[in-house]
Amino acid sequence: MSKRVQTPVWFAAMILVAALAVGGLAGQMTKGGPVFTVAAAAPAAGPSVPTDAGVRSSFAPVVKLAAPSVVNIWSSRVVRNRGNESTNPFLQDPFFRQFFGNQFGHPAVPKEKRERSLGSGVVLSADGYILTNYHVVENGSDVKVSLSDRREFPARVVGTDSKTDLAVVKIDQDNLQPIRLGDSSKVEVGDIALAIGNPFGIGRTVTMGVVSAVGRGGLGIEQYEDFIQTDASINPGNSGGALIDTNGDLIGISTAILSAGNGGGNQGIGFAIPINMARNVMDQIVRTGKVTHAYLGVSIQEVTPDIASAFKLNGLAGALIGDVEKGSPAEKAGLRPGDVVTQVDGKPLPDSRSLQLGIAQMQPGQTVHLTVVRDGQQRQLTATLADQPPEPTNAQSSGDDGDSGQPPESSQVLDGVQAMTLTPQIARQLKLPADTKGVVLTDIAAGSAAAEAGLDQGDVILEANRKPVSTVDQLNQIIKQSGKQPMMLFINRQGRTTYVVIPAQTP
C-alpha cells in the first residue's frame, strides 16, 4: 500500500504570504523601480513522496476480520530426561573419552516426564484444517484446539514437516472462518505488521510493529529458512500464530524469537515463516498427509570473502559444495566438493541459501541446469532431482572393533590446536570408514583463530590448502609452507564434509 504525506494547510498559507510579499506568484512589482517576475520554484531532485495516505488511527476493523481465524493449541507428550548428559553421542563412548576427557559429567538415570506445549494456529478452511508450527505439536499424544469463541475440540495431526517447522491439524467442525492468504513476496521492509496469538497463555493478543527484514536465514532454527523479521511482539505461545498485513491478509506464521537467556521474552526480534513458503507445505499435507522435498544431495556452505579469495571466484556469488552424498542426483550429475554453484536454470544465486530454498520448492523428478565454477573454470551440469531420503538414525555400533593398543599422542598443529593422526579405531568411533585418512582434532583453545573459524573437537582434516592430509607430519609441513597465508581446510564433521578457512595470522 502506497503512503502519501499531506502538505499541511498552514504551511501552504505561509508560502503564499511570503510569495505575495515579494511581488506575487508570477506577478509584477511596478512602483518606482524595475519590473520583477517571481517564477515558481523548480522541484527538488530526488524521489517523490506519495501523498495519498496517512497513519490510520485504528486497526480494529482489520483485527475483527482476521482474529476469529486464530486459535489456541495445547499439546502434551511424554519425554525421557537424562539430566546433564552430553548431547554428542560420540562423547559418551568410554574409548572416545580417552581422547577428549570425561568433562561432560556422568549420565543421570533416565526419567520420564510429561511436557505440555502451548501455541497458536490459523484456520485454513471452513471444515477445520488449521496451520501451526511443528514444534507446537511435535510428538503430541493429546492435542486440543480452542476457538476464538472459547469452544474447545480435540484435534488430530494431519501431517508435519520438521524441515520448515510447519504442521496441519484438523478438528471436526464446520462453518469456521478461514483466514485470507496474502502474498509474502510483496512484503517490504517498513510495512506495518500485526501479530495475533496467545502469548504465555494469557489469551488472544494483538501486537503491532513493522517488518524489520525479509529473507532472513542462516539462523540454524530450521533447515529451510527465509524468515520475515518483525519487531511486533512475539512471545512464547505465539508460535503458530498469524502475522498479518494492514488488509488482514496472512503473510506469515510466527515461529521464533530472539530472547535473552532461558525463558526470556520478546527482545524486539521475531521471525515468521512466509506464507508463500508455507502454502506449498500445507497444500501437500492437506492433499496427501505428508510433505516431499526435492533432493539434490549436497551439503552447501556460504561463500565468505575468504572462501571467494581461496577459490578465485573473482566477484562471483553462489553456493560452495562442501559434501556430495553417494548415489545422489548431485553425484550422478558430476558435482564435486569444492564446486561453486553460481546459477540454477540460468538464474544467478546471490548466496548459498538461495540454492537450498530453490531446490526445496521444486518437485522430485524435475531437471535442473547448474552452472558451476571448478578450479576457476565454468562448467554446465544437469541434475534430475529425487525424493528426499528418510532421516538417518543415530544407532551406534557396539562390541570389539578389532583394534587395540595405545592411541597416538596429540601434537600441536596450529596455534591453540592439538591433533593426532586418525586411526581406524578412532575413525569407526566417529562413524567414518575405517580406511579414512586424515588428522583428528583433539583440543581447540577458546579464542584461537581456529576456534573463531569454526573448528571443533572431533573434526577430521582431510585436506589442507587443497592437498591431501594423512598424518600430523604432513599437515605440519603444509602449514609451514603456507607461511602467513590463509589456511583452507577440508574437514569431515560427523560424516559430513565442509570447508573452513583460517585467516592469515598477523605476527
Given pLDDT bands bounded at 50, 70 and 90, which one contains residue 19?
very low
Q: What is the rounded CA–CA span in Å between residue 77 and residue 287?
A: 26
pLDDT at 290: 87
Assign domain 67-80+111-291 one CATH number from 2.40.10.120, 3.40.190.80, 2.60.40.10, 1.20.140.10. Answer: 2.40.10.120
Given pLDDT bands bounded at 50, 70 and 90, which one contains residue 482?
confident
Residue range 23-45: mean pLDDT, rounded: 36
Residue range 247-261: mean pLDDT, rounded: 84
Do 206 and 63 contact (CB within 8 A), yes or no? yes
User: What's the predicted TM-score (pTM) here?
Assistant: 0.63
Distances (CA, A) of 495 to 175, 314, 323: 51, 31, 10
Residue range 349-369: mean pLDDT, rounded: 87
> pLDDT per residue over 337-358, tens digit each?
989 999 999 999 888 888 888 8
| Range name among 139-153, 168-182, 257-271, 466-480 with the lowest pLDDT average | 257-271
pLDDT at 208: 92
Q: How many residues does the chain have?
A: 507
Task: Give the torsion through C-alpha atoms of 114, 120, 126, 129, to 10 deg.
Answer: -50
Q: What is the rounded CA–CA span in Å between residue 154 and residue 146?
A: 9
Q: Is 220 left (phi over 0), alpha (psi -120 to 50) or beta?
A: left
Is the fold of 294-387 the same as that of 411-502?
Answer: yes
| Range name among 90-94, 174-178, 349-353, 462-466 with the lowest pLDDT average | 90-94
Task: Tell me the helix, strand and coil percentages in the chain, rounded to 5.
Answer: 20, 30, 50
> pLDDT per residue over 175-207, tens digit each?
999 999 999 999 999 999 999 988 877 878 899
| Range name among 261-270, 378-387, 444-453, 488-497 with the lowest pLDDT average | 261-270
- Compare 179 and 141 and report the one with higher pLDDT: 179
pLDDT at 507: 42
pLDDT at 276: 92
pLDDT at 445: 86
Architecture of 411-502 per CATH?
A: Roll (2.30)
pLDDT at 195: 94
| Range name among 79-93, 195-209, 225-239, 421-435 with the lowest pLDDT average | 79-93
- Compare 30 and 241 and report the one with higher pLDDT: 241
| Domain covering 294-387 in this structure, CATH number | 2.30.42.10
Average pLDDT for the chain = 78
Q: What is the rounded CA–CA span in Å between residue 285 and residue 225?
A: 19
Distances (CA, A) of 131 to 87, 250, 271, 283: 31, 11, 16, 10
Mode of pairing for the β-strands spanning 460-464 and 487-493:
antiparallel
| pLDDT of 121 above 90 | yes
Given pLDDT bands bounded at 50, 70 and 90, which one contains residue 9?
very low
Q: Please, which residues have CB within 8 angstroms of residue 162's CB and are 6 or more apart in sequence?
A: 134, 138, 223
Q: Which of 54-68, 261-275, 279-293 has the highest mean pLDDT?
A: 279-293
pLDDT at 293: 85
| Range name among 38-42, 193-197, 222-226 with the lowest pLDDT average | 38-42
pLDDT at 143: 92
Handedness of CA 97, 98, 100, 105 (dihedral sign): positive
| pLDDT of 166 above 50 | yes
3-state SS, one letter per residue, for 383-444: EECEECCCCCCCCCCCCCCCCCCCCCCCEEEECCEEEEECCHHHHHHCCCCCCCCCEEEEEE
Distances (CA, A) of 289 to 144, 174, 474: 19, 20, 53
Do 234 and 197 contact (CB within 8 A), yes or no? yes
Q: What is the rounded CA–CA span in Å between residue 179 and residue 275?
A: 12
Do 236 and 266 contact (CB within 8 A), yes or no? no
Beta strand extents in 184-317 (DSSP E only): 192-197, 205-216, 227-230, 242-244, 250-257, 270-274, 294-295, 298-302
499, β-bridge pairs? 490
Do 268 and 275 contact (CB within 8 A), yes or no? no
| pLDDT of 273 above 60 | yes
Q: Where are the domains of the chain?
A: 1-42, 67-80+111-291, 294-387, 411-502
pLDDT at 81: 54
Query: Burial letters for 297-319: b for 16+ Cβ neighbours within 10 Å, e otherwise?
Result: bbbbbebeebbbebbebeebbbb
Determine whether 397 is exposed, middle or buried from the number of CB atoms within 10 Å of its CB (0-12, 13-18, 19+): exposed
| Range name among 133-142, 219-228, 465-474 with the lowest pLDDT average | 219-228
**Could you give the residue numbers annotated as active site?**
135, 165, 239
Residue range 464-478: mean pLDDT, rounded: 88
468, β-bridge pairs? 463
What amino acid occupies position 291? V
> pLDDT per residue over 387-414, tens digit each?
877 654 443 333 444 444 455 566 777 8
